[in-house]
Amino acid sequence: MMSIDGLGDLWDTLFGAQPDPPPLLVLITAAVALVVVSTRLPWRIARNAITIAHEGGHALVALLTGRKLRGIRLHSDTSGLTLSAGRPTGPGMILTLLAGYVAPPLVGLGGAWLLGGNRITLLLWVAVVLLLAMLVMIRNAFGVVSLLVTGAVVLAVSWYATPQVQAAFAYTGVWFLLLGGVRPVVELQRLRSRGRMPASDADQLAGLTPFPAFFWVVLFALVNLVALVAGALLLTGSILTDAGLTL
pLDDT of residue 2: 43
DSSP H or E segment with residue 186 = helix 183-193
Domain ranges of the chain: 44-242
CA distance 66 to 85: 9
Mean pLDDT, consecutive 10-residue stretches, the chain (247 aa), reads: 53 69 94 97 95 97 96 95 94 97 97 94 94 95 96 94 94 98 95 90 96 97 98 85 57
Burial degree of 209 (CB within 10 A; 0-12, 13-18, 19+):
middle
Please tell me the pTM assigned to this model: 0.91
Bridge partners, residue 84, by sequence: 69
pLDDT of residue 245: 56
3-state secondary structure of 18: coil
Helices vs. strands in the chain: H and E counts, helices first: 11, 2
Instruction: Please give the full DSSP string across 92-134, using - where no structure is assigned.
Output: HHHHHHHHHHHHHHHHHHHHHHHHHTT-HHHHHHHHHHHHHHH
3-state secondary structure of 84: strand
CA distance 19 to 119: 9
- Count CB-CB contacts under 10 A for residue 87: 11
Among 186, 123, 146, CA closest to 56: 146
